[in-house]
Amino acid sequence: MTITEKILAAHAGRKEVSPGELINARVDLILANDITAPIAIREFGKIGAEKVFDPARVAFVPDHFAPQKDIKAAEQCRMLRLFSRDQGLELYFEVGRMGVEHALLPEQGHVVPGDLVIGADSHTCTYGALGAFSTGVGSTDVAASMATGECWFKVPESMKFIYYGSLGRWVGGKDLILHTIGDIGVDGALYRAMEFEGEVVRALPMAGRLTMCNMAIEAGGKSGIIVPDETTEAYVKGRAKREYTLYSSDPDAEYVDIREYDCTKIEPLVACPHLPSNVRPARELADTAIDQVVIGSCTNGRIEDLREAAEVIGGRKVNPNLRMIVIPATQAVYKQALKEGLIEIFIDADAVVSTPTCGPCLGGHMGILAKGERAVATTNRNFVGRMGHPESEVYLSNPAVAAATAVLGRIGLPDELGL
């Protein structure tokens, strides 16, 4: 079996499972945010449930419109607060404790290898970087799972992606996943588990792995996953809140498709409007003027991403024709960035730094685009109207390209700044 099949079998109390089977499986963690949890709370009440199955296994993270941007957002967040208080939820993260959910939960050790995690947010697939099976579900599934501790699944087929060679300067996990989505398309892994492996992935730090698994959904994937290794154990050691199990794929496991990529040929990439699969080398877009740069999100808002951006923009200024917004993904990332002097670097460069929030990624707040404006963002989606007006445009890149763009006022590379 593949690692995905082994995790699903273990949680279904089965010796083995096969792709296409419908199973019921126990969940280790259930997640919802200030957009999706209110629906789940209402449905939880409708089915007559009184108590969640385990108050230590349900996580509510108000991060999309928090800190609350308006009255409607405040009402949504209040629902989470009152329900969490009533149910005694141990994993309710109020503003001040919260961060972008998919950065926060792994950082705090609430997701561990071997877990089965569901979340009412499509980017729940992020946690596959830890060797867990994690996937997005609807709010009604979350409601049923909060009551029962179980969820139903169709066992997905698995695709294997092998990355070999070595990465060039300013090329990272974001470029690997953009290259992959560019190759297979936004439905190329529809309802499949995307398993990433190879020497390049094994050498990739956890931040890059989280970025890759985060965007599996942008290829239609049911999940993204990486077999845990020394890097995984080094990350979870000391932060894991529970015991964990390290699963791996059998050498004779079956995959519906296997793709191999020579990473020495991959350069810094940009996904152009209006699909994550519309990928081009950044160097080919040098005539594209930009109005806003956003560094942050559950894709690239970790301390490693902020360090990369600061290395590029340090000692330079944001182009006067452009605005730059930096959003640390969690309070811990914010604090570490302060300690390392990164926040000072960004402010000295004339960038603005926000409290942790999803904010502009989903067109929520803290950086909405006007008609005709273009943004380069380290986020994960660039659909029509994703970050504001339907006639605005979003380009996706890694933090280094985004920071270089902020200086140049157009899409550009760190090389053009002598780096």
- At the fourth CATH level, which superfamily is domain 269-417? Aconitase, domain 3 (3.30.499.10)
Task: Report domain extents, the chain.
Answer: 3-261, 269-417
Q: Which fold has domain 3-261?
A: Aconitase; domain 3 (3.30.499)
Average of per-residue pLDDT across 85-99: 96
Q: Give the per-residue pLDDT at 315.
A: 95
Q: Give the per-residue pLDDT at 125.
A: 97
Q: Give the per-residue pLDDT at 181.
A: 98
Average of per-residue pLDDT across 153-158: 98
Mean pLDDT of the chain: 97
Q: Give the strand order in the sheet containing 116-119.
A: 91-92, 58-61, 29-33, 116-119, 133-136
The model's pTM is 0.95
Q: Where residue 166 falls among pLDDT bands split at 50, 70, 90?
A: very high
CA neighbor of 412 nearest in space, from 275, 318, 346 = 318
Q: Give the per-residue pLDDT at 268.
A: 98
- Quote the CA–CA distance of 10 and 15 in Å, as a whole number: 7
26-81 tens-digit pLDDT: 999 999 999 999 999 999 999 999 999 999 999 999 999 999 999 999 999 999 99
Residue with tokens 């090329």: 171
Q: Give the per-residue pLDDT at 335.
A: 98
Q: Give the per-residue pLDDT at 325.
A: 98
Domains 3-261 and 269-417 share a fold: yes
